[in-house]
Structure 1
């Protein structure tokens, strides 16, 4: 979208109210929102250049139903992205537990980066799977020292 920003700036403000607030042209405001939604455009910088509060511009974007949706990225730009989509495959815990040989006991030793040592000896595989599931659900900080 090629827009003459100076012409848009002149068309945007229709008049000033007695309290100093501006009355904006609806068509120019919609055009301004479209400019803000272009890829690589800094809404805060553009608002500052136009002399409009950035929070006001954010509200205009919401009011126009855009909610900061940017224009779709062109495929050529996406091809240069350093990020790669990685599929995540989940395995049901019940399936893992059933694959264990119930007659074998297991020992587990682990030293965590925060200094905590975990040691399980002579634990059945089903109990070990339950413990590992429980540990996987715990939230813990890296800085936790026990």
Structure 2
């Protein structure tokens, strides 16, 4: 398990302190986007939260929370990453349904990340997803236009 301690900074205009989160972490999550992404990939492949938690060495309740939040956001994530795929690779083949909204979202993230690597020489898919979503991939409300 990787431990991290986010830095804090004081806002010059309002005087409040804010957490500065590296782009490979998701907002309000103690695990890196790659760890959460591995859980989402396993769920999309048909695994349950308990085997996923055991494989990742995380509490079952934590993994269950990730999967529930991802299921709530799955359709919007699929739409946003499909849109991004089209922008990165206008000739990309259409996404085929994978059997669930979450599996469709995971497919869209992977395809958009692959297109970004080809076009922009970026990094791993889940770091890409964390960056594009501004760390809000599992946020309660995704908002419009990441």
| Pairwise same-fold verdict (TM > 0.5) | no
TM-score by length of 1: 0.29
Which has the higher Rg, Structure 1 or Structure 2?
Answer: 1
Which protein has the bigger helix share? 2
Q: Which has the higher strand share?
A: 1
Q: TM-score, normalised by structure 2?
A: 0.29
